[in-house]
Amino acid sequence: MPELIEQANNLIESLSPYTIIGIFVAFALVIIGLRQVLKKPVSRLTAFSSSTGSVLVSRKALQDLIRQACLKDDWVEAARPVVKIVGEQINTNVSLRLSKADHLRETSERLQNRISELLQKSLSFEQIGPIEIMVSSFGKSDVDELIATETESVIEAAPLVGESILEPKPQALPGPSSDSPAKLPERD
Protein backbone atom coordinates (compact mmCIF):
# COMPACT_ATOMS: atom_id res chain seq x y z
CA MET A 1 0.00 0.00 0.00
CA PRO A 2 2.71 2.54 0.80
CA GLU A 3 4.18 1.80 -2.64
CA LEU A 4 0.92 2.85 -4.36
CA ILE A 5 0.82 6.10 -2.42
CA GLU A 6 4.44 6.77 -3.32
CA GLN A 7 3.77 6.06 -7.03
CA ALA A 8 0.71 8.34 -7.03
CA ASN A 9 2.74 11.08 -5.31
CA ASN A 10 5.50 10.74 -7.92
CA LEU A 11 2.93 10.91 -10.75
CA ILE A 12 1.36 14.08 -9.32
CA GLU A 13 4.76 15.70 -8.84
CA SER A 14 5.68 14.94 -12.45
CA LEU A 15 2.55 16.72 -13.82
CA SER A 16 2.66 20.43 -14.56
CA PRO A 17 0.20 22.73 -12.75
CA TYR A 18 -1.66 23.38 -16.05
CA THR A 19 -2.21 19.66 -16.54
CA ILE A 20 -3.63 19.31 -13.03
CA ILE A 21 -5.97 22.29 -13.59
CA GLY A 22 -7.05 20.79 -16.94
CA ILE A 23 -7.89 17.47 -15.26
CA PHE A 24 -10.00 19.24 -12.61
CA VAL A 25 -11.83 21.31 -15.26
CA ALA A 26 -12.56 18.19 -17.34
CA PHE A 27 -13.82 16.40 -14.22
CA ALA A 28 -16.10 19.35 -13.36
CA LEU A 29 -17.51 19.43 -16.90
CA VAL A 30 -18.25 15.71 -16.79
CA ILE A 31 -20.11 16.15 -13.48
CA ILE A 32 -22.14 19.08 -14.87
CA GLY A 33 -22.93 17.16 -18.07
CA LEU A 34 -24.11 14.10 -16.15
CA ARG A 35 -26.30 16.29 -13.97
CA GLN A 36 -27.95 17.80 -17.08
CA VAL A 37 -28.48 14.40 -18.70
CA LEU A 38 -29.85 12.74 -15.58
CA LYS A 39 -32.00 15.69 -14.53
CA LYS A 40 -35.63 14.68 -14.18
CA PRO A 41 -38.01 16.66 -16.42
CA VAL A 42 -40.38 19.09 -14.74
CA SER A 43 -43.61 17.25 -14.07
CA ARG A 44 -45.77 20.25 -13.17
CA LEU A 45 -46.16 23.87 -14.05
CA THR A 46 -47.54 26.79 -12.06
CA ALA A 47 -50.75 27.94 -13.74
CA PHE A 48 -51.11 31.02 -11.52
CA SER A 49 -50.32 32.27 -8.04
CA SER A 50 -52.30 34.43 -5.66
CA SER A 51 -51.93 35.64 -2.10
CA THR A 52 -53.55 32.44 -0.85
CA GLY A 53 -51.29 30.07 -2.80
CA SER A 54 -50.40 28.63 -6.17
CA VAL A 55 -52.21 26.38 -8.61
CA LEU A 56 -50.01 23.72 -10.19
CA VAL A 57 -50.95 21.67 -13.24
CA SER A 58 -49.18 18.40 -14.01
CA ARG A 59 -47.92 17.49 -17.47
CA LYS A 60 -50.27 14.49 -17.48
CA ALA A 61 -53.26 16.77 -16.76
CA LEU A 62 -52.20 19.05 -19.64
CA GLN A 63 -51.88 16.05 -21.96
CA ASP A 64 -55.33 14.77 -20.98
CA LEU A 65 -56.85 18.21 -21.49
CA ILE A 66 -55.23 18.58 -24.93
CA ARG A 67 -56.34 15.06 -25.91
CA GLN A 68 -59.96 15.89 -24.97
CA ALA A 69 -59.82 19.18 -26.90
CA CYS A 70 -58.54 17.34 -30.00
CA LEU A 71 -61.16 14.59 -29.77
CA LYS A 72 -63.95 17.20 -29.88
CA ASP A 73 -63.03 17.82 -33.51
CA ASP A 74 -65.15 15.79 -35.95
CA TRP A 75 -62.16 14.77 -38.07
CA VAL A 76 -60.02 13.44 -35.19
CA GLU A 77 -60.38 9.77 -34.27
CA ALA A 78 -57.47 9.59 -31.79
CA ALA A 79 -54.93 11.98 -30.30
CA ARG A 80 -51.72 11.43 -28.35
CA PRO A 81 -50.23 14.68 -27.06
CA VAL A 82 -46.78 14.99 -25.53
CA VAL A 83 -46.15 18.09 -23.43
CA LYS A 84 -42.59 19.17 -22.68
CA ILE A 85 -41.87 21.96 -20.26
CA VAL A 86 -38.66 23.76 -21.15
CA GLY A 87 -37.96 26.42 -18.55
CA GLU A 88 -41.29 28.23 -18.29
CA GLN A 89 -42.34 27.41 -21.86
CA ILE A 90 -44.79 24.69 -22.88
CA ASN A 91 -43.91 22.79 -26.06
CA THR A 92 -46.61 20.49 -27.43
CA ASN A 93 -46.41 17.64 -29.96
CA VAL A 94 -49.68 15.96 -30.91
CA SER A 95 -49.92 12.74 -32.93
CA LEU A 96 -53.31 12.36 -34.57
CA ARG A 97 -55.34 9.74 -36.37
CA LEU A 98 -57.75 11.54 -38.65
CA SER A 99 -60.93 10.01 -40.04
CA LYS A 100 -60.19 11.26 -43.58
CA ALA A 101 -57.33 12.85 -45.44
CA ASP A 102 -59.60 15.71 -46.50
CA HIS A 103 -59.27 19.13 -44.88
CA LEU A 104 -55.83 18.39 -43.41
CA ARG A 105 -54.68 22.01 -43.34
CA GLU A 106 -57.92 23.34 -41.85
CA THR A 107 -58.04 20.62 -39.21
CA SER A 108 -54.46 21.12 -38.08
CA GLU A 109 -54.80 24.92 -37.92
CA ARG A 110 -58.07 24.63 -36.01
CA LEU A 111 -56.49 22.27 -33.48
CA GLN A 112 -53.40 24.45 -33.04
CA ASN A 113 -55.63 27.47 -32.35
CA ARG A 114 -57.85 25.49 -29.98
CA ILE A 115 -54.85 24.19 -27.99
CA SER A 116 -53.26 27.64 -27.86
CA GLU A 117 -56.49 29.25 -26.62
CA LEU A 118 -56.98 26.48 -24.09
CA LEU A 119 -53.53 27.01 -22.61
CA GLN A 120 -53.68 30.82 -22.69
CA LYS A 121 -57.24 31.62 -21.67
CA SER A 122 -58.35 28.67 -19.57
CA LEU A 123 -55.10 27.93 -17.75
CA SER A 124 -53.48 31.39 -17.90
CA PHE A 125 -50.22 30.08 -19.38
CA GLU A 126 -48.39 32.86 -21.17
CA GLN A 127 -45.23 31.09 -22.35
CA ILE A 128 -46.60 28.82 -25.06
CA GLY A 129 -44.04 27.31 -27.39
CA PRO A 130 -44.61 25.56 -30.71
CA ILE A 131 -47.62 23.30 -31.14
CA GLU A 132 -46.54 20.60 -33.57
CA ILE A 133 -49.22 18.44 -35.20
CA MET A 134 -48.21 15.10 -36.72
CA VAL A 135 -50.77 12.97 -38.52
CA SER A 136 -49.74 9.40 -37.82
CA SER A 137 -52.60 7.67 -39.67
CA PHE A 138 -55.91 8.11 -41.40
CA GLY A 139 -59.18 6.42 -40.62
CA LYS A 140 -60.18 3.03 -41.85
CA SER A 141 -63.10 4.27 -43.98
CA ASP A 142 -60.89 5.81 -46.68
CA VAL A 143 -58.77 2.68 -46.86
CA ASP A 144 -61.83 0.42 -47.05
CA GLU A 145 -63.24 2.43 -49.95
CA LEU A 146 -59.90 2.34 -51.75
CA ILE A 147 -59.50 -1.41 -51.19
CA ALA A 148 -63.05 -2.08 -52.39
CA THR A 149 -62.39 -0.13 -55.59
CA GLU A 150 -59.07 -1.88 -56.18
CA THR A 151 -60.61 -5.29 -55.46
CA GLU A 152 -63.31 -4.71 -58.05
CA SER A 153 -60.66 -3.74 -60.61
CA VAL A 154 -58.56 -6.80 -59.83
CA ILE A 155 -61.54 -9.13 -60.02
CA GLU A 156 -62.44 -7.79 -63.47
CA ALA A 157 -58.89 -8.28 -64.73
CA ALA A 158 -58.24 -11.59 -62.91
CA PRO A 159 -57.83 -14.77 -64.95
CA LEU A 160 -60.21 -17.66 -64.64
CA VAL A 161 -59.45 -20.37 -62.12
CA GLY A 162 -56.60 -22.51 -63.35
CA GLU A 163 -55.17 -19.83 -65.63
CA SER A 164 -51.90 -18.21 -64.79
CA ILE A 165 -51.30 -14.49 -64.93
CA LEU A 166 -47.69 -14.91 -66.03
CA GLU A 167 -48.10 -17.51 -68.77
CA PRO A 168 -49.79 -16.63 -72.03
CA LYS A 169 -52.95 -18.47 -72.89
CA PRO A 170 -52.18 -21.47 -75.08
CA GLN A 171 -53.22 -21.06 -78.66
CA ALA A 172 -55.46 -23.70 -80.09
CA LEU A 173 -53.56 -26.07 -82.33
CA PRO A 174 -55.05 -26.67 -85.69
CA GLY A 175 -57.06 -29.82 -85.51
CA PRO A 176 -56.78 -32.57 -88.03
CA SER A 177 -58.76 -31.96 -91.11
CA SER A 178 -61.21 -34.51 -92.30
CA ASP A 179 -59.09 -35.09 -95.40
CA SER A 180 -55.94 -36.30 -93.67
CA PRO A 181 -55.74 -38.68 -90.79
CA ALA A 182 -53.89 -37.52 -87.68
CA LYS A 183 -50.36 -38.83 -87.55
CA LEU A 184 -48.58 -39.63 -84.34
CA PRO A 185 -44.83 -39.28 -84.12
CA GLU A 186 -43.05 -42.50 -84.78
CA ARG A 187 -40.91 -44.14 -82.14
CA ASP A 188 -37.55 -45.57 -82.83
pLDDT tens track for 31-42 = 988 887 777 666
Residue 70 pLDDT > 80, yes or no? yes
Widest CA span of the chain, in angstroms? 120
> HSE of 54 in the Cβ direction (CA atoms, 13 Å)?
7
Residue 174 clears pLDDT 80, i.e. is over it: no
Residues 6+ apart with CB under 8 A from 88: 45, 127
CA nearest 107: which of 81, 77, 128?
77
> Taking the domain 44-141, which CATH number applies?
3.30.70.1350
- Residues 41, 141: Cα–Cα separation, whole Å: 39
Contact of 73 with 96, CB cutoff 8 Å: no
- pLDDT category of residue 160 using cuts at 50, 70 and 90: low
- Tell me what percent of the residues of the chain surpass a pLDDT of 90: 23
Give the pLDDT band (50/70/90) at residue 47: confident
Q: What is the pLDDT of residue 156?
A: 56
Q: How confident is the model at residue 109 (pLDDT cuts 50, 70, 90)?
A: very high
Global pTM reads 0.54
pLDDT of 153: 55
